[in-house]
A and B are shown apart, each in its own frame.
Chain A
């Protein structure tokens, strides 16, 4: 019986609101914008954290990544004379980091360059990574065939390499890849394993690419020496870089940031020009959280103000409606409606109004994150939770701001209300 009454009250509320369509629509605008802001805010925040979490998943949470970087004001007189850039991380840096800090569990050095690889007539540009077996513990990818580099490869003269899956498919096709020979530049390597890669091309935010070959670092040095000559579109660059990358793993997630700070302080002493960059994946999460906070404050304020103004607008209209319908209230009371039933009638009507605003707001709010992604390039994720929250907020607005007009309607003296013209 109670349910039937609620359904009838909802029907009646809708009927009354549809009687004044434009007025109802304008009244709900505050709730519309407020709800849309809430959803957009949560979508941006959620997008930022999910992106950061994804990166951490790819890079590892307790690692610090050091990359060599060409200094911007690079050209000293001597370097210009020799046409050779000398910069970057040193073998000594790796040793110092490993030995100085107790929190460091291990370090993985990497020399990286691009070389053309050939198998018969097939050729492709490969990223050659000279590293140690520890690489495969830190950049943990499924082994599709064969094996990864082992300690015993490190002293051996035998030139072996681990190929990424896409490179193996391209160079070796359907053939059984493990055991095949691949020519990289002027040197031949035996493929000992195939590794699944995360996909995509190289960027700061990933450690592996689709076109990688991993070889022991000492083989890299023996074959190509320390000076790397790259020819690209006619231009020739000559660089002396000892290590292109050092991945530092620390014991505990708590150690990540203090260790990164200490490493930076130490490197500053040995590198007068800033020819390296320190990336801390964990810091990305912090950054994402900071972004989230900023958006929460900005959009939260907009949402809060919109909802407050929207709520007051709704209250205002409902008070006007109560005045307009004083006689109706008097009639209902004379017929025998209790105060509670009048409260319920007007409260339901207000909640219907604010919920309609909430629905429109949800529709708009689901569109805004798409626009943010399209125009600002920020990742956004609309969660079910945010939709439920938005629906809850809009209904609460109806209850909070509808209560006073409804109680006022119920407390009208039926005799006075009946006499009102």
Chain B
């Protein structure tokens, strides 16, 4: 393959002229006003922009929590606009991992139970889930905290648990929504280093942030303004 064609198998996400419109009373808000972009396997993207730029809407769409009003969204070749609620749930369950600014662990569940949650909804056998949860806890360095509740952990530890949970289903992409927004700079650095490490191991990561120094950890940056892509900084794969 001397002259590689754009290899369809490497494209994880493909958006073509995607619009997302909300009706706010009598006013139509164009949160996304026609976005065309492709994300490939192994990329580490930072989506940047001021608040109201459409980056959150973008992340919700990419995470199959929402459907485009018009345009084409292919996730691993599947047309997301054609999916019903159960179909979207299925994609999230099998192929997407989420981490959030406020960690979003379930407070009444232990670390292990939080990590196991996606496997529970997948209907995995209990013993397999337990083994996987232990592996993942070890990978994020929290093997000794399996029976703690989220409230007993520091913010950085909670975010590690959230990452472990996001990895439990062996996702096609990891979506991170301001993953360091609630963390001090030192912990932020550790989390970002960990995300980079995961990316280097082959995980596709798409992160929304408004902080330039956090975005600097990504290999590519996509700037948004007024529901449109303003500017793309693409770094060639190392």
Contact of A415 with B121 at beta-carbon distance under 8 Å, contacts A19-B108, A333-B89 already known: no
Taken residue by residue from 379 to 421, chain A's Cβ proximity to chain B (1 for < 8 Å, 0 otherwise) reads as: 0000000000000000000000000000000000011001000
Whether A339 sits at the interface, judged by CB under 8 Å, is yes
Q: Select the residue from A15, A330, A331, A335 with max chain B CB neighbours within 10 A.
A: A335
| Contact residue among B89, B93, B100, B122 (Cβ-Cβ distance under 8 Å from A418) | B100
Q: A-side binding surface: helix, strand, loop or mixed?
A: helix
> For the complex, what is the distance from the CA of A1 to the CA of B108, rounded to whole Å?
23
> For the complex, what is the distance from the CA of A334 to the CA of B114, rounded to whole Å?
13
Could you tell me the distance in whole angstroms from the C-beta of A67 to the nearest C-beta in chain B? 72
CB-based contact B108/A8 at 8 Å: no
Could you tell me the distance in whole angstroms from the C-beta of B198 to the nearest C-beta in chain A? 18
Whether A328 sits at the interface, judged by CB under 8 Å, is yes
CB-based contact B108/A327 at 8 Å: no
CB-based contact A335/B63 at 8 Å: no
> For the complex, what is the distance from the CA of A414 to the CA of B123, rounded to whole Å?
21
CB-based contact B60/A338 at 8 Å: no
CB-based contact A336/B90 at 8 Å: yes
| Contact residue among B60, B86, B93 (Cβ-Cβ distance under 8 Å from A335) | B93
Whether A24 sits at the interface, judged by CB under 8 Å, is no
Taken residue by residue from 99 to 121, chain B's Cβ proximity to chain A (1 for < 8 Å, 0 otherwise) reads as: 01000111110000000011011
Taken residue by residue from 1 to 21, chain A's Cβ proximity to chain B (1 for < 8 Å, 0 otherwise) reads as: 100110010000001100100
CB-based contact A336/B104 at 8 Å: no
Contact of A331 with B106 at beta-carbon distance under 8 Å, contacts A338-B86, A415-B60, A418-B100 already known: yes
Contact of A336 with B89 at beta-carbon distance under 8 Å, contacts A1-B123, A8-B120 already known: yes
> For the complex, what is the distance from the CA of A86 to the CA of B169, rounded to whole Å?
100
Whether A371 sits at the interface, judged by CB under 8 Å, is no
Contact of A335 with B65 at beta-carbon distance under 8 Å, contacts A1-B123, A19-B108, A328-B106 already known: no
In the complex, chain B residues whose CB is within 8 Å of the CB of A336: 89-94, 96, 118, 121-122, 169
Contact of A414 with B65 at beta-carbon distance under 8 Å, contacts A337-B89, A338-B86 already known: yes
CB-based contact B89/A338 at 8 Å: yes
In the complex, chain A residues whose CB is within 8 Å of the CB of B117: 332, 335
Could you tell me the distance in whole angstroms from the C-beta of B129 to the nearest C-beta in chain A? 10
Whether B135 sits at the interface, judged by CB under 8 Å, is no
Whether B230 sits at the interface, judged by CB under 8 Å, is no
| Contact residue among B85, B90, B91, B108 (Cβ-Cβ distance under 8 Å from A16) | B108
> For the complex, what is the distance from the CA of A335 to the CA of B65, rounded to whole Å?
10
In the complex, chain A residues whose CB is within 8 Å of the CB of B96: 336
CB-based contact A415/B100 at 8 Å: no
CB-based contact B92/A339 at 8 Å: no
**Interface size (B, Cβ < 8 Å)?**
30
Could you tell me the distance in whole angstroms from the C-beta of A17 to the nearest C-beta in chain B? 11
Whether B165 sits at the interface, judged by CB under 8 Å, is yes
Whether B66 sits at the interface, judged by CB under 8 Å, is yes
**Interface size (A, Cβ < 8 Å)?**
24
In the complex, chain A residues whose CB is within 8 Å of the CB of B106: 328, 331-332
CB-based contact A334/B98 at 8 Å: yes
| Contact residue among A4, A335, A418 (Cβ-Cβ distance under 8 Å from B121) | A335
Could you tell me the distance in whole angstroms from the C-beta of A338 to the nearest C-beta in chain B? 5
CB-based contact A327/B104 at 8 Å: yes
Whether B200 sits at the interface, judged by CB under 8 Å, is no
In the complex, chain A residues whose CB is within 8 Å of the CB of B100: 418
CB-based contact A415/B65 at 8 Å: yes
CB-based contact A5/B123 at 8 Å: yes
Could you tell me the distance in whole angstroms from the C-beta of A257 to the nearest C-beta in chain B? 66
Whether B126 sits at the interface, judged by CB under 8 Å, is yes
> For the complex, what is the distance from the CA of A5 to the CA of B63, rounded to whole Å?
25
CB-based contact A335/B118 at 8 Å: yes
Whether A323 sits at the interface, judged by CB under 8 Å, is no
> For the complex, what is the distance from the CA of A327 to the CA of B108, rounded to whole Å?
13
In the complex, chain A residues whose CB is within 8 Å of the CB of B123: 1, 4-5
> For the complex, what is the distance from the CA of A334 to the CA of B92, rounded to whole Å?
7
A1 (CB) vs chain B CBs: closest residue: B123
Whether A316 sits at the interface, judged by CB under 8 Å, is no
CB-based contact A4/B126 at 8 Å: yes
CB-based contact A334/B63 at 8 Å: yes
A15 (CB) vs chain B CBs: closest residue: B108
A338 (CB) vs chain B CBs: closest residue: B89
CB-based contact A341/B65 at 8 Å: no
Q: Select the residue from B66, B86, B104, B118 with max chain A CB neighbours within 10 A.
A: B104
Could you tell me the distance in whole angstroms from the C-beta of A339 to the nearest C-beta in chain B? 6
Could you tell me the distance in whole angstroms from the C-beta of B136 to the nearest C-beta in chain A? 14
Could you tell me the distance in whole angstroms from the C-beta of A414 to the nearest C-beta in chain B? 5
Taken residue by residue from 169 to 186, chain B's Cβ proximity to chain A (1 for < 8 Å, 0 otherwise) reads as: 100000000000000000
CB-based contact B98/A335 at 8 Å: yes
Q: Which residues of B in the span 27-77 have a Cβ within 8 Å of any Cβ on A?
A: 60, 63, 65-66
Taken residue by residue from 79 to 90, chain B's Cβ proximity to chain A (1 for < 8 Å, 0 otherwise) reads as: 000000110011
Could you tell me the distance in whole angstroms from the C-beta of A344 to the nearest C-beta in chain B? 11
B116 (CB) vs chain A CBs: closest residue: A8
Could you tell me the distance in whole angstroms from the C-beta of B130 to the nearest C-beta in chain A? 13
In the complex, chain A residues whose CB is within 8 Å of the CB of B125: 4
> For the complex, what is the distance from the CA of A341 to the CA of B60, rounded to whole Å?
21
Taken residue by residue from 155 to 170, chain B's Cβ proximity to chain A (1 for < 8 Å, 0 otherwise) reads as: 0000000000100010
Could you tell me the distance in whole angstroms from the C-beta of B131 to the nearest C-beta in chain A? 16
In the complex, chain B residues whose CB is within 8 Å of the CB of A19: 108
Q: List 6 A-B contacts (CB under 8 A).
A: A5-B120, A5-B123, A332-B117, A335-B92, A337-B93, A338-B86
- Given A334-B104, A341-B121, 20 other A-B contacts at CB below 8 A? A1-B123, A4-B123, A5-B123, A15-B108, A328-B107, A332-B106, A332-B121, A335-B93, A335-B98, A335-B117, A335-B118, A336-B90, A336-B91, A336-B92, A336-B93, A336-B169, A337-B93, A338-B90, A415-B60, A418-B100
Report which B residues bind A (CB closer than 8 A).
60, 63, 65-66, 85-86, 89-94, 96, 98, 100, 104-108, 117-118, 120-123, 125-126, 165, 169
Pairs of residues from A and B, 5 with the lowest C-beta to C-beta distance, nearest first: A336-B93, A336-B92, A338-B89, A1-B123, A331-B104
